[in-house]
């Protein structure tokens, strides 16, 4: 895998000198202060080899990348019954849009837009309680990494998410009118804001993502974290919906299941081959990491890992 180390080193150098870097998310104060010059990337292959470059050990706010993990937990909890409360389709709208909820009776298009993730969190709060859901999510993530204490929820970020999260509050209350939020709105949103405030490094995020690379199995412990069918479901939704209204373009450019967050992180998975995390805080117009997307495109061009290649 020396070749992978060389490839990502060259990618990191290209990203280092890139003039166009996007814009940081300004509506969440801690994210607005992150240095646009940061770039990190980690690749973990199916044999457990890890290659990192740049700021891959720097913790950052993973934001909506966390929706992959809460959704995995909800699938474990509910199985196919989850589709009565959240659909499986691309939205074609911004991640925080309220437009489709009225015509679709409060059922979000997919679990990766904000409304869908709030419903997923409502399911977990109903099963485990507000504090229990936070603990379960942290336990789930920490079970997948070699340094579990490094994964934290940033309470200050969560507080500021709550103070500025007017649209998410509106989404939750609107869905409550349709009966699709069943706990006290404050409890569900408290969990949602804390989930989005999870911090990880690229190394940790890639390590967490290995269960999706290995058909739902933790490659370190051999534990079946989710069923192979549920892992396939998560990956399919990452491919179709993981980059909001930029998901189609990401599928064409990169060709891997991926999930972005407004903190500038992206988790991408080449099933059976590699789990990849990249972080660059500058975002494009759709709220996805500009250089992170470009770096993943370069990686796939060099490795041929796109799931749409005949030789994959």
Phi-psi map region of 147: left, alpha, beta (phi>0 left; psi -120 to 50 alpha): beta
- How big is the CA angle at 89 (ends 266 and 158), to the nearest 5 degrees? 45
Question: Which residue of the set 53, 119, 192, 247 is catalytic?
Answer: 192
64 is in an annotated binding site: yes
Residue 192 annotated to the active site: yes
What's the rounded Cα separation, in Å, for the pair 305 and 80?
30
| Helix-, strand-, coil-residue percentages of the chain, each rounded to 5 | 50, 10, 35
161 is in an annotated binding site: yes
Residue 262 annotated to the active site: yes
- How big is the CA angle at 95 (ends 30 and 184), to the nearest 5 degrees? 80
262 is in an annotated binding site: yes
Residue 244 annotated to the active site: yes
Question: Which residue of the set 68, 262, 278, 300 is catalytic?
Answer: 262
Residue pointed to by tokens 């649209």: 167
Per-residue tokens: 154: 């940033």
Q: State phi, psi for 44 to the nearest 5 degrees.
A: -115, 125
168 is in an annotated binding site: yes
Residue 312 annotated to the active site: no
Distance of CA 187 to the CA centre of its chain: 22
What DSSP designation does 258 have?
Answer: E
Residue 174 annotated to the active site: no
Question: Which residue of the set 61, 64, 66, 201 is catalytic?
Answer: 64
* Of 179, 8, 144, nearest in space to 73 by CA: 144
20 is in an annotated binding site: no
Question: Which residue of the set 67, 130, 162, 259 is catalytic?
Answer: 67
114 is in an annotated binding site: yes
Question: Which residue of the set 244, 254, 259, 278 is catalytic?
Answer: 244
What's the rounded Cα separation, in Å, for the pair 265 and 114?
16
Binding-site positions for substrate: 64, 114, 161, 168, 192, 244, 262
Active-site positions read 64, 67, 192, 244, 262
Which residues carry a binding-site annotation?
64, 114, 161, 168, 192, 244, 262
């Amino acid at each position: 895998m020396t070749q992978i180390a060389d490839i990502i080193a060259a990618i990191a150098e290209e990203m280092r000198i890139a003039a166009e870097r996007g814009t940081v998310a300004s509506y969440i104060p801690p994210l607005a202060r992150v240095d646009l010059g940061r770039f990190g990337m980690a690749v973990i292959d199916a044999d457990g080899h890890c290659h990192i470059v740049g700021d891959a050990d720097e913790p950052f706010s993973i934001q909506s990348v966390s929706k992959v993990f809460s959704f995995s937990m909800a699938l474990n909890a509910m199985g196919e019954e989850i589709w009565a409360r959240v659909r499986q389709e691309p939205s074609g709208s911004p991640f925080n849009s309220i437009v489709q909820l009225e015509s679709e009776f409060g059922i979000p298009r997919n679990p990766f837009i904000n409304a869908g993730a709030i419903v997923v969190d409502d399911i977990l709060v109903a099963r485990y309680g507000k504090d229990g859901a936070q603990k379960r999510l942290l336990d789930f993530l920490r079970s997948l990494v070699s340094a579990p204490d490094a994964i934290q929820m940033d309470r200050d970020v969560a507080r500021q998410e709550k103070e500025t999260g007017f649209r998410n509050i509106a989404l939750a209350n609107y869905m409550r009118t349709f009966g699709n939020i069943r706990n006290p709105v404050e409890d569900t949103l408290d969990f949602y804001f804390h989930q989005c405030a999870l911090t990880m490094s690229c190394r940790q995020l890639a390590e967490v993502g290995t269960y999706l690379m290995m058909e739902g199995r933790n490659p370190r412990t051999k534990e079946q974290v989710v069923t192979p069918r549920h892992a396939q479901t998560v990956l399919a939704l990452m491919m179709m919906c993981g980059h909001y209204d930029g998901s189609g373009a990401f599928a064409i450019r990169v060709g891997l299941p991926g999930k972005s967050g407004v903190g500038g992180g992206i988790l991408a998975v080449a099933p059976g081959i590699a789990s990849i995390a990249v972080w660059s805080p500058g975002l494009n117009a759709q709220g996805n990491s500009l250089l992170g997307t470009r770096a993943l495109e370069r990686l796939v061009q060099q490795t041929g890992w796109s799931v749409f290649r005949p030789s994959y």
